[in-house]
Structure 1
Amino acid sequence: MSGIRDHPLRYNLANELHARPFPTLAAPSTAVFLALRTPANVVGQSRDAELAHLLDLLDRFGAPHPQPGATHFTCSIGRNTLKWEMHAEFVTFTVFTDRLSARPFDPADFEAFPEDWLGASPGKRITSALIRVDHMPAPQKALAELSSWFVPESIAMCYVLDRSCLVATDFRINAAGHQCMAVFVDKTTGSRRIGRVVQRLCEIETYKTMSMLGYFRVKAIAANLGALEAEAATLMGKLRSDDEDADSTLARLLDLSGDLEKLIADTSFRFGATEAYEAIVHQRITVLREERFEGRQTFGEFMSRRYDPAMRTVASTKARMMSLADRAGRAGQLLRTKVEVARSAQNQSLLESMDRRADLALRLQETVEGLSVVAISYYAVSLAGYLVYPLAGPLGVSKGVMTAAITLPVVLIVWWLVRRIKARMH
C-alpha cells in the first residue's frame, strides 16, 4: 500500500462531511442566533471583512483564532460558547449559554453580542433568534406557556424526534427585532440530540428567510414581466397579418428577447438559490420527524399554508419567463422565415426583371448585329470595288454595274462570317 498515490483532495473530501459538527446543549440553556447577509456584489471582498469581524469579537474575549481558510469555528468566549459558520451568501453566529433568563426571550440575552461590534458588521442582519431550551413540563402547562409566549393564530408546535423534544415558534419578529423559539426536552434526551434540534431550528429559520428573497424579487419584476408578456402577445398577433412590416416586427421582437434574456440573467442566481434553500427547509423539517401536539399545527403544516405558496409563486414566475423566452424564440424563427420568404419573392421578381432586360438586350444586340452586317458590307463592297474596277474596261461594263454585281456576294459573305463568329462565341 505504500506505493499508492492519493488524490490531492482525498482528505478534504472526507473531512467535508464532518466540517460542521452539531453543538452539544443541556437543559436549561439559551441560544442566541444571528445571520448576516453578505452583499451580493462584493462577495469576494466581504469574505475578508467577515473574518476580520469575527476576529474582532474573539479578541474582545481573548479567544483563539480559527485556522486560515476556515468556514466554521467553535470556541469559548467568556462564560458562553460561540459557533461561527460562513456560507455562500451569509455568515451565522450562535452563542450558547447554560442558563435561562427570568423573563422568557429577554432582549438582554442578545447582549451576548456587543452593541458596537454589531454596528461595525460588514453585512446586514437577515435574521436573528432567541431560542429557549428548558425541561419539558406537563402537556397542559407547556401549552399554557407556549400560548402566552407566541401569537395564537401563527404558532406552530409539535413533538420531534420520537417525542424527545417539543418545539414551538410563531415565525414572527418580536418588539426587540428577534424571532423567538422554544424547545422543551425530555429528561432522557441527550445533549447531542438537543444540539441537533436547536441547529435544525436555526437552519429552518435562516433558509426560510433567504428563500423568501426570491419571492420579493418576483414582486419587484412583476410589472416588467407583465409588460414583456403583453408586448410579446401583441407582436405574436402580428405574425398572421400581411399589413405589418415583418422586418420592423422582427426588430421589435429581437429587442423584447434581449430585455427578457437580461431579466432572466438578473434573476437566475436568486431563483436558483431560492429553489435550493426551499429544498433545505423541507429537508430539515422532515428529519425532525414531527408529531402533533395537542391538536396544534406542525411546522410542516405552517409551511404548507404560509411558505409553500410563496415558493410556488417563484417557481411559476421562473416557468413564465422560460416559457416566454421559448415563445419569443419560436416567434422570431417564424418572423425570420416570413422575412426570408418575402425576400425570396423580391429576388424572384428581380430575377424575372433581369431576364426581361437580358431578352431585350439580346434583341437589341441582334438588331445591332444586322446593322453591323450592313456597315461591314458597305466598307467591304468599297474595298472589293477597288479590286474589280480594273476589270470593268476589258469587260465593257461601267463601275456602277461592277459594284452592283459584287454587292450581293459581299453582303452574303459578311453575313455568313458574322453568324459563324457568333456561333463560335456561344
Structure 2
Amino acid sequence: MDNTAEQNGAQQPTKTQASFEIHPLRDMLAGEVHARPFRPVETPRVLHHMAFLSDVDAAEELEALARFCTAHGALPPGPGARHHVVTLGGAELRWERHTEFTTMTLAVAPPPNDAFAAPNIASLSAFLPKPPGPLIAATRLALVPMEDDLPDLGMFDASSLCVARADSGGAVVATDFRPDPSGFTRMLVANARLTPARAGALVQRLLEIETYRTLAILGLPEAQRIRPIVDRIESELAALTLRMKDEVGLQLSRELLEKLVGLAAEVESEAAGATYRFGATRAYWELVTQRFVSIREERIPGYGSIEGFLSRRMKPALRTCDSVERRLTDLSQKLARTSNLLRTRVDIELESQNRDLLQSMNRRARLQLRLQRTVEGLSVAAVSYYIVGLIGYLAKGGEKVLGIAFDPSLATAAAVPVAVLLVWLLVRRIRGGHTDE
C-alpha cells in the first residue's frame, strides 16, 4: 500500500514542481551530429557526385527540390532540411546543403560493360533538381568488387595516377584527379571485404576529399587577382614615405595624408572580401586532411598516394593564399603606422602655426596696450583742460556775482593740479574695473 502511494506520487508532479524551460535550439543542436549520416552502398554501384555553389537562399532551393520530389512521386523535404534522400526507381538521389555549396549524389547500378560509361553532365542535368548555382565539382565514383590484387587501371592518366589501399586494406582506391570527356573526375573503388555500411562511409569521405579540395583552391584566383593590387599599393606607399622624408610643409602633409587614407581604404576593401575566401581555403584544406586520416590510406609500392599527390600539388596554391593574406595584413598595418606618423607631423605643424599665431596676437595686444595708455594720457590732459576751463568761467562769474575781490587766474591755476589728479584717478579706477572683469 505504501509502495503504491510512493509510486503514484513519483509519477504525478506536485503543484510546486515546474517544468524545465527548453532551449529553442536544443533539437537542432542535438540533431546536428546526425545531419549527414553515411548511407550504406551496395557493391557494385556508380555514384555521380556534383557540387554547386549556392547563389539562392535556402527557401528557394528547398522549393525547387520539393517540386522535383512531387513530380517523381517522392516525399518532399521538411522545413529547413539540410539533407534529403529521394528514391527514383533503382536509383537514389542524395541532396545536401552546406554553408556555401550544395551537393547532389545520384547512385545508380553500373552499366554491364564499363562502370564509367555513364551519361555526361549535360545529359544528366535533365534528371536532377534545379541547382542553386554554378557547378564547381563533379566526380563519378565506381564501386566494384575486387577481382584481382589490383583493378584495371588503364583508364587513368599514368602521370597523375594515385593508387592506395583504404580502410585497413578493405578496398583499393584509384584516381587521376582529371576530368574525363564527359566532365567527371573518375574514382575507382575496388571493394575487397567492406560491408555496405563501411563502403558507404569510405565512398562519402572520398567524394568529400574531391569536393573540399576543389573548394579550397578557390582562394588561388582571389590571391592572383589581389597580388598585383598589393604590389602597386606597396610601391605607392614607398614613394609616399620618401616624400614624407624629403619634403615638408603643411599643405604637402595634407595631400600625402589624403593619399594614404585612399590607399588604406582600398586595402581594407580588398581585405574585406579576401579574408573570408582565404579563411574558407584553410578550413576546406583542414577538412581534406581530416578525411585523409579517416580513410586510413596505405600506399601501394609503385604508385603515388592520394594524400601525397594532393599535398604536393595543393601546397603551393595554399602558400600563395597565405602569402597574399599576410601581405594584405602587413600592408594594412604599414598604412596605419604611416598615417599615424603623418597625422603627428600635421599636428606638430599645426601647433607650430598656432604658436606663431599666438605670438603675433601677443605682439598686437602689447601694441594695443601701449596705444591705449597713450590715449589714456591724452584723454586725461583733454578732460583736465575742459574742467580747468569750466573752473575759470566759474571764477570769473563768482567775482561779479558774489562781489568778492579775487584773481580768477589764480583760482584757475590752482585748479589745474587738482583737476589733473582727479581725472587721472578716475581713469585709473575705470581701467582697474575693466581689468578685474
The two structures have a TM-score, normalised by structure 1, of 0.90
- Offset of residue 12 of structure 1: 2.2
Report the alpha carbon displacement of residue 182 of structure 1 after superposing the two structures with TM.
Answer: 0.8
What secondary structure sits across from 1:67 in the alignment? coil
How far off its partner does 1:311 sit?
1.5
Secondary structure, aligned partner of 1:243: coil
What one-letter code is carried by the residue in structure 1 that aligns with 2:274? T
Within 1, Cα distance between the matches of 2:405 and 2:292? Answer: 133
Once the two structures are TM-superposed, the CA of residue 242 in structure 1 deviates from its matched residue by 3.4
Moved more, 264-273 or 316-325: 264-273
Q: Distance in 2 between matches of 1:425 and 1:76?
A: 100
**1:107/1:419 Cα in 2 relative to 1: closer, same or farther (>3 Å)?**
same
* Other-structure match for 2:148: 138
1:339: which partner in 2? 346
Corresponding position of 2:171: 165
Partner amino acid for 1:306?
R
Distance 1:260 1:329, change over 3 A: same
Q: In structure 2, what is the Cα distance between the partners aligned to 1:236 and 1:379? A: 72
Aligned counterparts, 1:385-400, within 5 A: 385-389=392-396, 390=398, 394=404, 397=407, 399-400=408-409
Give the superposed CA RMSD.
Answer: 2.4
CA distance, structure 2, for counterparts of residue 237 and residue 14 of structure 1: 60
Q: CA deviation at 1:423?
A: 3.5
**Cα shift readout 1:316-365 (whole Å, capped 9, x = no counterpart):** 21121121111111111111111111000000000000000000000000
How far apart, CA to CA, are the structure 2 residues paired with 1:409 and 1:361?
29
Q: Tell me if structure 1 keeps the 8 A contact 2:120–2:182.
A: no
Residue 216, structure 1, aligned to residue 221, structure 2: yes
Q: Is the contact between residue 28 and residue 99 of structure 1 (CA under 8 Å) also seen in structure 2?
A: yes
Change (3 A) 1:101 1:48: farther
Q: State the Cα distance separating 1:124 from its structure 2 match.
A: 1.6
Q: Which of the residues 361, 380, 386 maps onto 1:379? A: 386
**TM-score (normalised: structure 2):** 0.87
**Corresponding letter in the other structure for 2:272:** A
How far residue 401 of structure 1 moved from its aligned partner, in angstroms, is 4.6
Q: Distance in 2 between matches of 1:419 and 1:60?
A: 107
* Alignment of 1:254 onto 2:256: no
1:27–1:98 Cα contact (<8 Å) kept: no
Counterparts of 1:183 and 1:56 in 2: how far apart (Å)?
34
Shift of 1:179: 0.4
Aligned to 2:185: 179
Which is worse superposed, 6-15 or 202-211? 6-15
> Which position in structure 1 is the counterpart of 2:77?
66
1:152 aligned partner, one-letter code = A
Question: Relative to structure 1, is the Cα distance of residues 68 and 414 closer, same or farther in structure 2, using a 3 angstrom cutoff?
Answer: closer
Q: Deviations over 1:27-51 (max 9, x none)?
A: 2221111212222xxx32xx34433
Change (3 A) 1:367 1:109: closer
| 8 Å CA contact 1:135, 1:184 repeated in 2 | yes
Of 121, 130, 139 in structure 2, the residue corresponding to residue 129 of structure 1 is 139
Q: Counterparts of 1:414 and 1:59 in 2: how far apart (Å)?
A: 111
Q: Report what 1:189 is aligned to.
A: 194
**Contact residue 121 and residue 183 of structure 2 kept, 8 A:** no
Measure the CA separation in 2 of the matches of 1:338 and 1:279.
46
Q: What's 2:117 paired with?
A: 106
Contact kept? 2:121, 2:184, Cα under 8 Å: no
* SS of alignment partner, residue 82 of structure 1: strand
Map of 2:45 onto structure 1: 29
For residues 52 and 327 of structure 1, the distance between their equivalents in structure 2, rounded to whole angstroms, comes to: 49
Report how far residue 119 of structure 1 moved. 9.7
Contact 2:217 2:281 survives alignment (8 Å):
yes
Supply the distance in 2 between the matched residues of 1:417 and 1:178 (Cα, whole angstroms): 108
Equivalences, count: 414
Deviation track 1:123-152 (CA, whole Å, cap 9, x = no partner) reads 22111111111223434x43xx22x12111
Question: In the alignment, what sits opposite 2:107?
Answer: 96
Q: Percent identity?
A: 36
Q: Is the 8 A contact 2:52 2:102 kept in 1?
A: yes
Query: Is contact 1:58–1:65 with CA below 8 Å preserved after alignment?
Result: yes
Match of 2:415 in 1: 406
* Residues 111, 117 of structure 2: 8 Å contact kept: no
Call closer, same or farther: CA 1:313–1:400 in 2, change over 3 Å: same
| Range moving further from structure 2, 256-265 or 222-231 | 222-231
Match of 1:17 in 2: 33
Give the structure 2 partner of residue 38 of structure 1: 54
Q: Which runs of 5+ in 1 are unaligned?
A: none
**Secondary structure of 1:76's partner?**
strand
Aligned equivalents of 1:117, 1:368: Cα separation in 2: 105
- Offset of 1:100 from its aligned partner? 4.7
Give the SS at the match of 1:417: helix
Measure the CA separation in 2 of the matches of 1:57 and 1:102. Answer: 31
